Amino acid sequence: MATLKDIAKAAKVSISTVSRVLNFDHSLSVGEDTKQRIFKIAEELEYTKKNLSPDVMRKVKFCILFSGTHNKELQEPFFLSIHMGFEQACKAAGIESSIIYTQETAIDAALLKEYDGLVVLNRFHLEEIARIHEACSHIVLVNTLHNLDTYDSILIDFRQGVTDVINYFLESGLDRIAFIGGIEYYPEDHKGITDHRSRLFREIITAKGLLKEEWIRVGEFSPEAGYQMMKEILSEDELPNAIFAANDAIALGAIKALHESGIKIPQDIALVGFDNIPTAEYTYPSLSSIRVPTRFMGQYAVKLLTEQYLNQRSTPITVVVPTQIIERDSSKLSS
């Protein structure tokens, strides 16, 4: 088994320098090329470093950069659950955790350099991600629109989720399927971003020969928008018998519109949402939804950051998390 002395001899530095580099001593004044040489030699010699002591781990600081406000996080359980998973994993590892709401706090290189690892959550321009990475070399992208091979990423398998919903409806004998979705915006310039669910629904439903443009509406990811979009669809001459809502907030608005119109759920129109928020099982009728393992996403982001930080892993990893239909009364037809 390789020792610090072996690494020091191969790298032509002192044992003390090797020890301090492998333990990420920020006070050590040594060139980046020397650090990289030491890590490379340690890997080649298959050096197994003991876990950092609790005292050292307490100095590690990870942070979420969330492209939104604190209020937005509180209103959208999807993001709050990711944050909670992140905090839970950091606490278990003895890592200091925090969050920066980028629409409330200006971020610059000096601020980002205070952290040992960053979770980049939600919508950021590619240029902004590059600047973040320049300031902090350990980053993980979570739920961004970018599937890049440059950084660690955690993505949702939207294709699986959308496909499962459409097939679920078809297997229930429902082939007049409508979609009500949302459009998102980059906070910096308010440019609209095509949502994966909207694009995939159109692609898959077209391939099945079931596309009807009048049954597709895209607005905001909010109950108010869901209510309005559902009203618009109900004004059409022919009505769908199934609705796929791109998130549960939209679905809640749709339920209100259907109730007001005297439409029975699911007897007249079945409904499935997306995200499986905690209140989904308490709506009337209870809301079927696509479950996304959001807490796991936050926890796994910490795992990836820790790997980068401790092992200096340079090969990017992309993790695609699966989805699952949670069937409740809003789509459960009588046998």
pLDDT tens by residue, 17-50? 877 777 666 556 777 678 777 777 876 776 665 5
14's CB contacts (< 8 A; 6+ apart) are 8
Co-location of 152 and 298 in the same domain: yes
Name the domain count of the chain. 3
At which of 31, 50, 69 does a domain end? 50
331: in domain: no
User: CA Rg, the chain, in Å?
Assistant: 24
Count Cβ atoms below 10 Å from residue 67 Cβ, excluding itself: 22
- 268 and 314 in a single domain? The answer is no
Co-location of 28 and 66 in the same domain: no
pLDDT in tens, 271-312: 999 999 999 999 999 999 999 999 999 999 999 999 898 877
- Which helix (H) or strand (E) segment holds residue 245: the answer is strand 242-245
Quick one: 259 and 144 in the same domain? no
User: Domain for residue 203, yes or no?
Assistant: yes
Asked whether residue 70 is assigned to any structural domain, the reply reads: yes
> Are 273 and 216 contained in the same domain?
yes
Q: Examine the domain organization and report whether 314 and 275 are in the same domain.
A: no
Which residue blocks in the chain are alpha helix, DSSP H?
4-11, 15-22, 32-44, 54-57, 70-75, 77-93, 109-112, 126-135, 158-171, 196-207, 223-234, 248-260, 294-311
Q: Which long-range contacts (CB under 8 A, 24 or more apart) does 40-44 make?
A: 41/7, 41/10, 41/11, 42/2, 42/7, 42/18
Q: What is the band of 54 on the pLDDT scale with cuts at 50, 70, 90?
A: very low
Phi, psi of 136 (to 5 degrees): -140, 115
The verdict on residue 333 lying in a domain is no
Query: What are 162-211's pLDDT values in tens digits?
Result: 999 999 999 999 999 999 999 877 666 566 677 889 999 999 999 999 99
Instruction: Give yes or no: residues 149 and 217 share one domain.
Output: no
Q: What average pLDDT is seen over the chain?
A: 88
**Domain assignment of residue 329, yes or no:** no
Measured distance CA(80)–CA(78) in Å, rounded: 6
CATH code for the domain of 111: 3.40.50.2300
User: Residues 151, 298: one domain?
Assistant: yes
Q: Which range of residues forms the domain containing residue 151?
A: 56-156+294-322
pLDDT of amino acid 9 = 86
How high is the pLDDT of residue 6?
Answer: 83
- How many whole angstroms separate alpha carbon 199 and alpha carbon 190? 20
In a domain, 85, yes or no: yes
Tell me the pTM.
Answer: 0.78
32 and 65: one domain? no
Lowest model confidence (mean pLDDT) among 139-148, 264-273, 282-291: 139-148
7 and 18 Cβ atoms separated by less than 8 Å: yes
CATH of the domain at 21: 1.10.260
Could you tell me how far CA 144 lies from the centroid of its own chain? 7
Residues 117 and 234 occupy one common structural domain: no
Q: Are residues 244 and 139 in the same domain?
A: no
- Indicate if 172 and 229 belong to the same structural domain: yes
In terms of Cα–Cα distance, which of 301, 299, 296 is closest to 317?
301
Evaluate whether residue 335 is within a structural domain. no
**Residue 253 pLDDT level (bands cut at 50, 70, 90):** very high
Residue 327 lies in a domain: no
